[in-house]
């Protein structure tokens, strides 16, 4: 990996909440070296459509972009995303296309219709005590990369779970519609090999970035500038100007952008020992998870 392979590093704290605009979305970008990361449109209440537009039209060249969402569902455990259904997709790209097909007329990249599909719904835990017959019980099904996250000290959630403040399923479904639109514009790792040039999209888990910045998984969320400054310093980054409170979404994006800069040039990061070609094409992998 060339030390100057990427010129910029971006992190997107994503949201799958209902509606058009979301306080939970934040974008941050930093250049190489130790420059402080910067929020894109600070204070702006983003829509998912605006994030897509920014990625297509305003993304700096040769940027490594991390999205805080899951790029796929568990598959290796049962050898299918939706075992027992003849039309279960065989790859992540087929999964993205199916989410898009079923939810195409939903605004704002929503995917409620996908989760409500009669052949798919039994695999999800949804609101109103609706736990699908094949959800799996407990914390649900996990991808291989989520097991790796747990070994790193995180507490991942199954993205088949659509309930609770910590759930990641809704954001992941909306994210799959986003990826379906971006796949012909940028390389998406590990579904695509790392190209010699151009921007690359990767899945991230902001808790991994926080741990690398000296936080514990239980204290991964940062809500004031003093803690943000300390975390960035641990990542060899200059501080972001400011005092007082900051939203945890903004802090997650800022820290994750600086963290991507610290690990992007480590060849081992791009070659996790447990990432097989089959897992790469079906489940994907979280960047930075060993």
What are 193-221's pLDDT values in tens digits? 999 999 999 999 999 999 999 999 999 99
**Interatomic CA distance for residues 135 and 177, integer angstroms:** 22
Please tell me whether residue 121 adopts helix, strand or coil conformation. helix
pLDDT > 70 fraction of the chain, expressed in percent and rounded? 100
Q: What angle do CA 25, 53, 116 make, to 5 degrees?
A: 65
Give the per-residue pLDDT at 273: 96
pLDDT at 132 (0 to 100): 77
139 pLDDT band, cuts 50/70/90, is: confident
What is the reported pLDDT for 128? 74
The per-residue pLDDT for range 220-279, each reduced to its tens digit, is 999 999 999 999 999 999 999 999 999 999 999 999 999 999 999 999 999 999 999 999
E strand or H helix that includes residue 39: strand 38-39
pLDDT at 134: 85
β-pair partners for 26: 13
Q: Are 259 and 1 in contact (CB under 8 A)?
A: no
pLDDT tens-digit map of 156-178: 999 999 998 778 999 999 999 99
The proportion of the chain whose per-residue pLDDT surpasses 90, expressed as a percent, equals 92
Distance of CA 191 to the CA centre of its chain: 14
Domain range list for the chain: 1-290
Cα–Cα nearest to 206, from 189, 223, 221, 191: 221
What is the average pLDDT across 15-29?
A: 96
The pairing of strands 200-203 and 63-67 is parallel
What is the sign of the dihedral through the CA atoms of 100, 105, 111 and 116? negative
pLDDT of residue 154: 95
Token code pair at residue 67 = 């999205």
Backbone conformation region of residue 235, classed left if phi is above 0, alpha if psi is from -120 to 50, else beta: alpha
* 3's tokens: 């030390």
């Amino acid at each position: 990996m060339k030390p100057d392979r990427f010129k910029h590093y971006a992190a997107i704290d994503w949201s799958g909440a209902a509606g058009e605009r979301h306080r939970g979305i934040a974008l941050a970008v930093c250049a190489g070296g130790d420059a402080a990361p910067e929020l894109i449109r600070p204070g702006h209440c983003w829509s998912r459509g605006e994030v897509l537009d920014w990625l297509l039209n305003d993304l700096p060249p040769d940027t490594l972009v991390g999205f805080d969402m899951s790029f796929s569902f568990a598959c290796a455990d049962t050898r299918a995303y939706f075992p027992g259904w003849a039309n279960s997709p065989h790859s992540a790209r087929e999964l993205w296309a199916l989410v898009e097909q079923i939810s195409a007329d939903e605004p704002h990249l929503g995917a409620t219709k996908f989760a409500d599909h009669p052949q798919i719904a039994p695999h999800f835990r949804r609101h109103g005590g609706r736990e699908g017959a094949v959800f799996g019980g407990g914390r649900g099904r996990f991808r291989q990369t989520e097991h790796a996250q747990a070994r790193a000290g995180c507490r991942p959630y199954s993205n088949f779970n659509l309930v609770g403040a910590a759930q990641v399923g809704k954001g992941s479904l909306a994210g799959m519609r986003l990826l379906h639109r971006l796949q012909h514009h940028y390389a998406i790792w590990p579904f695509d090999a790392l190209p010699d040039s151009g921007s690359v999209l990767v899945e991230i888990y902001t808790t991994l970035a926080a741990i690398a910045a000296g936080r514990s998984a239980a204290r991964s969320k940062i809500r004031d500038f003093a803690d943000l400054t300390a975390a960035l310093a641990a990542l060899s980054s200059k501080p972001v100007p400011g005092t007082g409170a900051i939203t945890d979404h903004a802090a997650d994006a800022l820290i994750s952008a600086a963290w991507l800069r610290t690990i992007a040039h480590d060849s081992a990061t791009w070659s996790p020992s447990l990432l097989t070609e089959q897992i790469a094409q079906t489940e994907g992998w979280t960047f930075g998870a060993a």
